[in-house]
């Protein structure tokens, strides 16, 4: 994703595939065009939740390792290498690698890229922001997380967007309570984002996660009555708000993955995998230190 004369990202050169040692278990969809249909629902027992937490911790630690390398002059492909080596070095498989044909272990979404950016020879520049999304698969389950990093120093409105997007995630997590409906999550995010005039991306959502990368459960990030699954104890899903300095509308690149804001406004995202407990949500994707 180099930049054109207007400073907007354009597709870059994607490097060769990275190997994964044969001793590391692959998700069932690797080498297939699509994953198998999820079975078993979104509620897990304590043993499975602890496995999701272990995978989620690897993902979170990998994100922090990648984030420590975010600086001007680094390419997103170099960041992918760091994430890949961290995840596989901890005996886990990077869930995006081979998911519906995605060729990298990290999603790296720069500036106006909402999500699903493919690491390539894009060179990060001072003032850019980059979202690093990593999911780790280990012991039969996935743990999914992402966070947005600032390259050097960004202009104030961009720095504010990043900070407030993370705050919208914190507020969303606090709304999770058994007996409520999942749309309370989107309501909290949109109410907060509207205070600042931000766009709230609608078409890319949180999701059930665990034995499947995406279970089919949809967690909306905007105020809607369309999604109203009941929140129950033991349910595991992601919350991953995407806020923009402009429109919520988007366009997709020809690569079939990269999603950008239609007006090319800057966008930020943060994500955690959570489990529902009797008295609220518990985060399963916290770094180990």
Q: What percent of the chain has pLDDT over 90?
A: 97
**Mean pLDDT, residues 250-256 taken together:** 96
pLDDT band, residue 2 (cuts 50/70/90): confident
List pLDDT tens digits, range 159-173: 999 999 999 999 999
Does 10 have pLDDT greater than 70? yes
Cα–Cα separations (whole angstroms), residue 24 to 19, 62, 90, 93, 212: 11, 17, 10, 7, 17
The structure tokens listed for 130 are 């980059």
Rounded to an integer, what distance in angstroms lies between the CA atom of residue 262 and that of residue 70? 26
pLDDT score of 6: 74
Spatial CB neighbours of 73, under 8 Å, sequence gap ≥ 6? 123, 124
For residue range 101-146, list pLDDT tens digits in order: 999 999 999 999 999 999 999 999 999 999 999 999 999 999 999 9
User: Within 13 Å of residue 130, how many CA atoms lie on the same side as its CB?
Assistant: 34
User: pLDDT tens digits, residue range 191-220?
Assistant: 999 999 999 999 999 999 999 999 999 999
pTM passes above 0.85 = yes
Give residue-wise pLDDT tens across range 220-237.
Answer: 999 999 999 999 999 999
Residues of the chain with pLDDT > 70, as a percent, come to 99
Q: What is d(CA 117, CA 68) in angstroms, rounded to the nearest whole number? A: 19
């Amino acid at each position: 994703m180099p930049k054109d004369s207007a400073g907007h990202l354009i597709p870059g050169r994607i490097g060769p595939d990275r190997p994964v040692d044969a001793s590391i278990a692959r998700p069932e969809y690797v080498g297939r065009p699509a994953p198998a249909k999820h079975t078993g629902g979104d509620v897990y027992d304590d043993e499975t939740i602890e496995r999701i937490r272990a995978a989620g911790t690897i993902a979170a630690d990998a994100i922090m390792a990648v984030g420590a390398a975010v600086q001007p002059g680094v390419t997103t492909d170099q960041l992918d290498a760091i994430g890949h080596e961290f995840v596989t070095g901890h005996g886990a498989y990077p869930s995006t690698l081979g998911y519906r044909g995605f060729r990298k272990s990290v999603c790296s979404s720069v500036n106006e890229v909402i999500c699903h950016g493919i690491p390539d020879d894009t060179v990060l520049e001072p003032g850019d922001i980059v979202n690093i999304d990593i999911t780790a698969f280990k012991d039969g389950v996935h743990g999914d997380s992402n966070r947005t990093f600032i390259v050097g120093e960004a202009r104030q409105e961009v720095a504010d967007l990043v900070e407030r997007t993370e705050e919208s995630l914190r507020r969303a997590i606090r709304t999770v309570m058994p007996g409520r409906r999942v749309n309370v999550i989107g309501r909290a995010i949109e109410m907060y984002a509207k205070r600042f005039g931000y766009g709230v991306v609608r078409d890319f959502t949180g999701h059930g996660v665990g034995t499947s990368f995406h279970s089919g459960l949809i967690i909306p990030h905007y105020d809607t009555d369309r999604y109203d699954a009941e929140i129950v104890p033991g349910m595991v899903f992601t919350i991953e708000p995407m806020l923009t300095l402009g429109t919520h509308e988007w366009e997709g690149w020809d690569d079939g993955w990269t999603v950008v804001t239609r007006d090319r406004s800057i966008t930020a995202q943060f994500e955690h995998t959570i489990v529902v407990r009797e008295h609220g949500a518990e985060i399963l994707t916290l770094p180990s230190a």
